[in-house]
Structure 1
Amino acid sequence: MDFIIFTVAMAALVYGADFVIKESQRIALHFNISHYVIGATLVAFGTSMPEMAASMMASYGGKSEMAIANVVGSNIFNITLILGVVFLISKNMNPKRDIFVKDSAWIIVPVVIFMLMIQDSVISRADGILFLLIMVSYILFLFTGPKDDFEDAIDEDLSKEKFNWLKTILFLGIGFVLTIGGANFVVESGTDIARLFGVSEWIIGLFLIALGTSLPELVVSLVAVKNGNAEMGIGNIIGSNVANFSMVLGASSIINPLTINLITAQFDIYVMVGSSIALLFIVANKLYNKTGAIFLLTILSLFLLNSF
C-alpha cells in the first residue's frame, strides 16, 4: 500500500509543480518582477511549507531532534542534490542577476546565526523570534532593493494571455496543494516504513523527512529549468534555505524550544556549512554548469557514504 501511495504522491508533485511554475510566470509577467525574486519568495515559501509542517508537528510532539534534522537535511539536499541536478541538466545557464553580489549574504549569514544559536544546545523562543525577523528582512531586501532587468525567458503563450487574478490564484493554490500534499504523503509512507526498522528520530528527520520535504523544491526547480527559467530554480533554493532557517525553525522553536545533541549532529551540521560555502564559491565564480554540478554531487556522495 505504501508503494501505491508513494507513486500517486510523486505524480501529484510533478503536476503540482507545473501549476506553480506556470502561475508564478504569470505573476512575474504581470508585475514585471524577475523570475529570481518570484522563485526566492512565492515559490520558495510555498515549497518550504512541507518542511514547516513537518518540523512544527515534530516540535509540538516534543521531537526536537527530528524538527532540527529536517531543516539541516533539507538544506543539504537543496544545495547538493537539487542545484547539482539543475546545473547538470541545464544548458547555457547564465543568470542576469549577479547572485554573488546581491545574495551571498543570504546564503551564509543564516547558517552563521544558526551555528551561534545552537552553541548552548537549545534554540529558544527568543531565538525563534529572531529567526522570524530575519525572514521579514529577507522579503524587504528582495522587494525594496534594486530591480533586475526583466529579460528572463518566459512562455510566449503566457505573454499573449490576459491576466486573470481568480484563475491565477485558483491554479496556484491547486499547484501548492498537490505539491505539498504529495510531499506529505511521501514523507508519511516513508516514515512508517523506517519506523518498522527501528531507525532513530535524527536519521528519520535528516534523510526520510528532509529528502521527502525537499521533493517540491526538486520538482519545481527541474520544471523551471525545463521551461527555460533556471534563475527561478536558483532563487527557489536560496529562498527555501532562508525560509528553512527563519520560518521553519522560527515557528517550530516558538511552539517548543528545540534541543539538539551536538555530538550526534556534528557531522551533518558540518556538511550543511560546507554545502553553503560550496554554493557561495559557485556563485562567486559563476560555475552554473557541469563543473558546479560535479562539485555539489561529490559533496552529496561523500555525505551519504559517511552517513551509511
Structure 2
Amino acid sequence: MSWPLLLHFLFFSIALLALSKGADYFVTYSSRMAKRFGISDMVVGLTITSIGTSLPELAASISAAFKDHTPVIIGNVVGSNIANIGLILGLAAMIHPFFTEKKLHFRDSMVMLGSTVLFLLFTWNGSFELWEGLVFLILYAAYMVQIIKSDRDPNQPGGLEDKHKLPFIWKPFLWEAFVTALSCLAVGFGANYLINEAIVLSQQMGVSESVIGLTLIAVGTSLPELLVSVSSVRQGKAEMVIGNILGSNIANLLLILGASSMINVLQVSKSDVLIMTPIMILFTLLGVGFIFSKRDIAKVQGGFLMALYSGFVVLAFFQGWS
C-alpha cells in the first residue's frame, strides 16, 4: 500500500472520528435537554437517539448530495442497514444471547420492512427522485407522530407514564445547548472531509463510489449504533439493542434518503438495484425473523449473520472492481 493511500486512510479516519464523536455528544447532551422538558425515555430513545446515531449517515449523505456524488449516498444507506443487522445484531448476539419482547417491536419491524420494499420499488428505474423523497419524509413524520402518541398512551406497547424529568436549571441547560451546537459543527466538519477522502480513496483503489459507501462509509458511520448496542447488550438491555437497530434502519431509509433527495436526484446503479438492495431485503427479513423467533437470538444466529455480512463485503468489492 502506497504512502499517499495510507495518508488518505488516516485523513478518512480523522474525519470519521470527528463525525462519530460529534454524534455521540449530540445524543448525550440533546437527550439531557429533552429530559428537562419532560420528554420520556421512550420518545428520547426512538427519536433523538435513533436520529442521533444516524447523524453520521445523514451528514455524510447530505454532504455527498451537495457534491453530486449520489452513488455514495445509496451505498451508505444500503450498507449501513446491512451492517446494522449483519454486523451489529450479529456481534451483539455473539457477545451475549438475548430474548426480545415481540409486541414492543412489531410496529417498528413492519415499518422497517415496508420501507425497505418501498425503496426497491422506487429505485427500480435507476433513480430516487424528489417526489419519492418527499413521500419518505412524510412517512417518517407520520412514524414519529405515532411514536409520540403511543408514548402518551400507557396501554399501548411501549407506552410509558414515568417521564424521569430533569429539573430545569439555566446554567446546565445553557452548557448542554452549547455542547450540542459544538457537536453539530464537529459532525458537519467530519462529514465534509469524510466524503472528500472517500472519493479520493475510491479513485486510488479503483473501486466505485457506491462500494466505498457500502463498506468503508457504511461501517464507519454505523459505529455509534455499534457502540450503543454492545454497551446495551452487556447491561442486559436487549430491547434497547433491537430498538436502536430498528430505529436507525428506518431513519436511514425514510429520513436520510428523503432529505438527500431534496438536494439532488439520487442515481442508483444497476448492481445496487439488482444485487445490493435485494441483499438488504434479505438481511431485513432475517433480522425480523430472528426478532420474532420463539428462541433466543444466540451465538449461532449471531455467527450466521456475521458470516453472511463478511460474504456481503467480499461481494461488494468484487462488484466494485468488476
TM-score bracket for the superposition, by shorter chain length: 0.7 to 0.9
CA distance in 2, matches of 1:58, 1:13: 14
What is residue 257 of structure 1 aligned with on the other side? 265
- Cα 1:167–1:290 change in 2 (3 A) is farther
> Among residues 286, 291, 297, which one is paired with 1:288 in the alignment?
297
CA distance in 2, matches of 1:54, 1:76: 17
How many angstroms does 1:77 deviate by?
1.0
What is residue 105 of structure 1 aligned with on the other side? 110
- Cα 1:94–1:180 change in 2 (3 A) is farther
CA distance in 2, matches of 1:114, 1:280: 17
2:262 counterpart SS class: helix
> Among residues 220, 233, 236, which one is paired with 2:241 in the alignment?
233
Task: Kindly tell me the number of residue pairs found equivalent between the two proteins.
Answer: 300
How many angstroms does 1:213 deviate by?
1.9
What is residue 77 of structure 2 aligned with on the other side? 71
Letter of the structure 1 residue corresponding to residue 149 of structure 2:
T
What is residue 56 of structure 2 aligned with on the other side? 50
Any stretches of 5+ residues in structure 1 without a counterpart? 153-158
1:193 counterpart SS class: helix
Between 297-306 and 246-255, the greater mean CA deviation after superposition:
297-306
How many angstroms does 1:218 deviate by?
1.9
How many angstroms does 1:176 deviate by?
6.1
- Cα 1:209–1:3 change in 2 (3 A) is closer
> Among residues 65, 82, 88, which one is paired with 2:94 in the alignment?
88
What is residue 155 of structure 1 aligned with on the other side? none
Between 103-112 and 254-263, the greater mean CA deviation after superposition:
254-263
What is residue 4 of structure 2 aligned with on the other side? none
TM-score scaled to structure 1, two decimals?
0.80
> Among residues 117, 126, 131, which one is paired with 2:131 in the alignment?
126
How many angstroms does 1:175 deviate by?
5.8
What is residue 195 of structure 1 aligned with on the other side? 203
- Cα 1:110–1:288 change in 2 (3 A) is same
Any stretches of 5+ residues in structure 2 without a counterpart? 1-6
CA distance in 2, matches of 1:22, 1:276: 28
Letter of the structure 2 residue corresponding to residue 296 of structure 1:
L
- Cα 1:192–1:216 change in 2 (3 A) is farther
What is residue 272 of structure 1 aligned with on the other side? 280
TM-score scaled to structure 2, two decimals?
0.77
For the pair 1:220 / 2:228, whether they are aligned, the reply is yes
How many angstroms does 1:301 deviate by?
2.1
How many angstroms does 1:283 deviate by?
1.2
CA RMSD across the alignment: 3.4
Q: Say if 1:184 and 1:212, in contact at 8 Å, map to a contact too.
A: no
CA distance in 1, matches of 2:21, 2:57: 20
Letter of the structure 2 residue corresponding to residue 65 of structure 1:
P
How many angstroms does 1:269 deviate by?
1.1
> Among residues 61, 66, 75, which one is paired with 1:60 in the alignment?
66
1:255 counterpart SS class: coil
Q: Say if 2:60 and 2:191, in contact at 8 Å, map to a contact too.
A: no
2:239 counterpart SS class: helix
How many angstroms does 1:118 deviate by?
1.5
1:120 counterpart SS class: coil
- Cα 1:235–1:244 change in 2 (3 A) is same
Letter of the structure 2 residue corresponding to residue 40 of structure 1:
L
> Among residues 299, 307, 311, which one is paired with 1:298 in the alignment?
307
1:52 counterpart SS class: helix
Q: Deviations over 1:28-71 (max 9, x none)?
A: 87647345x43331111122222222222323333332221221
How many angstroms does 1:219 deviate by?
2.5
2:282 counterpart SS class: helix
Q: Say if 1:21 and 1:224, in contact at 8 Å, map to a contact too.
A: no
- Cα 1:225–1:263 change in 2 (3 A) is closer
> Among residues 26, 37, 40, which one is paired with 1:33 in the alignment?
40
Letter of the structure 1 residue corresponding to residue 109 of structure 2:
S
